[in-house]
Amino acid sequence: MKELIILGIGPSRVECPFDAEVWASVRALTVEGMADKTYSKVFAFDSRNLPALKKPIAIALEKGIPLVSTMPYATEEYPRQKVIKDFAVDFTKNTVSHMIAYAIYLGYKKIRIYGVDQGPEWDYIANRPYVLFWMGVAHGKGIKIELAQGSLLSHLMKAHIKRRIQELKESKEWSQIIWAEKGPVFVSGQDVKVTFTGSGYKPYKQKRVWHRRDILAYLILGGLYLIKPFRTIKLCYIRSIAIGQQAGNTGLFLRRLQLNQAKRTTYIGLSGKPDNRQLLKMFKRKMPILENKLLAKLLREPILYGSQFYFDMPFPHDCFDEFRGTKPDLEFTSVEESQGKELLKRMGVDSWFVCFLSRDDAFMIKQDPSRQYNGEFRNSDVDNFMAAAKYITDCGGYAIRMGHIVEKELTTKNPRIIDYASNYRTDFGDIYLPAKCKFYLGDTAGLWVVAAMFNTPVAGTNFIPFHTPFRKVDMFLPKRIWSCDHKRLLTMREYIDFIGNASPPNNVRVMNKLLNQDYEIRENTSREI
């Protein structure tokens, strides 16, 4: 049997036995425990300018390992058109999906997948549909698919289906529920049927491996069922890997509670280490939140994540109604107000001020140098904000440059333009200043969401992907996109079609479009800002 191992860099990579031909992501060449292994081919499909790819690509070229790609650095061209010719859509969007599709094309009869753990975290969950699509294609063609026991690919499918079933049960849109022999069949008011047959996709039989965390999860689940007759407890995952998510997901949830508080229901948040401790402290005043890395991680695994007690806190970008009909939830204590005034005094600010921020890669690279990062197209040049900063000071205010770990310090000699990011930055200041400024001037860096949560007017520049303002007083400028084929800027209608909304999957999709060199990004000019 023609057999292949496809290897990612997720935690289940440790299960890989390396007893067959191995294809891997090129990043494996720099991952501890993987760098010294033997690979038949390595794959990469992003620009070699991405910080996480520069070193592994160089290693592959130096060692002479076949490097398969559609990019110019490839030593073996990926035959994309031949691979996808039998399909109406191109679903080869990430490295693993490219590998599975290629293996199908080359006629492998068995594919074992390790290190592909696309769990609920936003930056990896976005790629799951592409991998699952090609797994389904392989299964349909009679190719045997085996997953690592620790992989979340099959477990989370069941969890998502189970949670969706519960959502549909509770939804007012569904008028009737019929339980069929092989699974529930839902019939809507329009007689549109959606059928789930069985409990989920099972590519192969695997022995259940019990961990202590599974036992803990079932104990928590049992306790929640015992309490339910008296009060429903909903467990919420507090996103904390970036300040925009930490502020947006939880802040929007609190505003929605103002509009519609469920009866006899208590929401409890579980958080790992927060990106901003001051913000978490303020959220704790509004809802019970347990800061525990183990419990937060446990909540994102199938046992709890797929249960009726998990409550998702999404942050869609069409939440105008929530901001129009509510007031800010968060408030500073008298002690914090004094602390904020002291910060302003130390910076020499004795009048109104505006916060401004220009996004760069310094913080993300510092957090995780090995991460494959797809957000460069969202960056902007801080120098383009300096004319606006000067105008603010000419009007009698102060311009405070925000940020946490920045690529370059400000060189201005204007005493009313203050480089807070380089000289004064604290978790507290990151919340207090956007909350108290006259307005916030920024780009797609997530700190603008903090300002919005306090109803501070937001002037957004270089917005890409497309993002709608939260309130009437907010405004924004999109980054411009130049069509190399048509030798002109895209119209607004074309721009919206190109970009879509500001969701993480679109970040990846937009990056892929820009890398094909048919389009160029044009930043907003100093004059436009």
d(CA 308, CA 179): 18
Give, for 323, the enclosing helix (H) or strand (E).
Answer: helix 320-324
Whole-structure pTM value: 0.64
Tokens of residue 383, six digits: 């120098």
Confidence class for position 202, pLDDT limits 50, 70, 90: very low
What per-residue confidence (pLDDT) applies to 198? 36
Interatomic CA distance for residues 287 and 257, integer angstroms = 11
Tell me which of 154 and 497 has the higher pLDDT. Answer: 497
Distance CA 294, CA 306 (A): 17
- pLDDT for the residue numbered 371: 54
Split at pLDDT 50, 70, 90, the class of 409 is confident
Residues 295-335 have pLDDT tens digits of: 998 888 778 887 889 888 888 767 878 888 789 999 999 99
Candidates 317, 313, 227, 212; CA nearest to 269 is 313
Q: Please give the full DSSP string across 219-265, using - where no structure is assigned.
A: HHHHHHHHHTTT-EEEEEEE--SSHHHHHHHHHHHHHHHHH-PPTTE
Q: With CA atoms as reference, report the closest residue to 495 among 514, 475, 478.
A: 478
> How would residue 419 be classed by pLDDT, with cut points 50, 70 and 90?
very high
Average pLDDT (490-515) is 65
What is the spatial distance between Cα 250 and Cα 255, in angstroms, rounded to a whole number? 9
Q: Angle of helix 95-106 relative to helix 128-140, nearest 10 degrees?
A: 10
Instruction: Give the HSE-up count for residue 118: Cα atoms under 13 Å, Cβ half-sphere.
Output: 23
Q: Residue 485: enclosing H or E segment and its boundaries? A: none
Instruction: Yes or no: say if 38 and 22 are a contact pair by the CB < 8 Å rule.
Output: yes
Check if the beta carbon of residue 25 is closer than 8 Å to that of residue 96. yes
pLDDT band at 415 (very low <50, low <70, confident <90, very high): very high
- Euclidean distance between CA atoms 109 and 524, whole angstroms: 52
Average pLDDT over residues 169-190: 40
Q: Residue 151 pLDDT > 80, yes or no?
A: no
Query: What is the spatial distance between Cα 235 and Cα 251, in angstroms, rounded to a whole number?
Result: 16
Which strand ranges, in their side-by-side order, compose the sheet holding 289-291? 289-291, 265-271, 232-238, 310-311
User: What is the percent of the chain where pLDDT is above 70?
Assistant: 80
Number of residues written out for the chain: 529
Q: What is the pLDDT of residues 12-58, one digit of tens each?
A: 888 899 999 999 999 999 988 898 899 999 999 887 767 778 889 99
Q: What integer pLDDT is reported at residue 228 of this predicted model?
A: 93
What would the pLDDT profile of 207-247 be if each residue is shown by its tens digit? Answer: 445 567 788 888 999 999 999 999 999 999 998 878 988 99
Instruction: Tell me the residue ranges of DSSP E strands in 240-345.
Output: 265-271, 289-291, 310-311
First-last CA distance in the chain: 62
- Which range has highest mean pLDDT (132-146, 306-320, 372-386, 506-520)? 132-146
Other Cβ atoms less than 10 A from the Cβ of 48: the count is 16
Average pLDDT over residues 149-153: 73
Handedness of CA 421, 424, 426, 429 (dihedral sign): negative
Domains of the chain: 3-149 (3.40.50), 155-195 (no CATH), 212-324 (3.40.50), 334-522 (3.40.50.2000)
Provide the pLDDT confidence category of residue 177 given band limits of 50, 70 and 90. very low
Q: Give the whole-number percent of the chain exceeding pLDDT 90.
A: 47
Q: How does residue 159 score in pLDDT terms, banded at 50, 70 and 90? A: low
Q: Which pLDDT does position 89 carry in this prediction?
A: 65
The model's confidence at residue 178, banded by pLDDT at 50, 70 and 90, is very low
pLDDT of res. 283: 96
Long-range pairs for 44-47 at CB < 8 Å and ≥24 separation? 44/68, 44/69, 44/71, 44/73, 44/95, 45/69, 45/70, 45/71, 45/78, 45/94, 45/95, 45/98, 46/71, 46/372, 46/374, 46/511, 46/515, 47/71, 47/515
- Tell which residue, 312, 365, 352, has the closest CA to residue 159: 312
Cis status, amide bond into 56, omega within 30 of 0: no
pLDDT per residue over 464-481, tens digit each? Answer: 876 677 888 999 898 888
**Highest-confidence range of 127-141, 156-170, 334-348, by mean pLDDT?**
334-348
User: Is the CA virtual torsion 292, 296, 302, 306 positive or negative?
Assistant: positive
Is it the case that residue 526 has pLDDT exceeding 90? yes
**Which contacts qualify for 372-377: CB closer than 8 Å, 24 or more apart?**
372/27, 372/46, 372/50, 372/52, 372/53, 373/50, 373/51, 373/52, 374/46, 374/50, 374/507, 374/508, 374/511, 375/507, 375/511, 376/49, 376/50, 376/511, 377/464, 377/479, 377/510, 377/511, 377/514, 377/521
pLDDT reported for residue 251: 92
pLDDT of residue 121: 46
d(CA 328, CA 251): 9
Q: Which of 43-57, 128-142, 283-297 has the lowest mean pLDDT?
A: 43-57
How sure is the predictor about 513, in pLDDT bands with cuts at 50, 70 and 90? low
Place of tokens 């400028």: 477
Confidence of residue 274 (pLDDT cuts 50, 70, 90): very high
Phi, psi for 41 (deg, rounded to 5): -150, 150
Q: How far is CA 276 from CA 262, 337, 367, 425, 426, in A?
A: 28, 18, 14, 12, 9
Where residue 80 falls among pLDDT bands split at 50, 70, 90? Answer: confident
Per-residue model confidence as pLDDT tens digits over 341-387? 999 999 999 999 999 999 987 776 666 655 555 557 788 899 999 99
Q: Torsion-angle region of residue 500: left (phi > 0), alpha (psi -120 to 50) or beta? A: left
Average pLDDT over residues 261-266: 85
User: What's the pLDDT band for 517 if we cut at 50, 70, 90?
Assistant: low
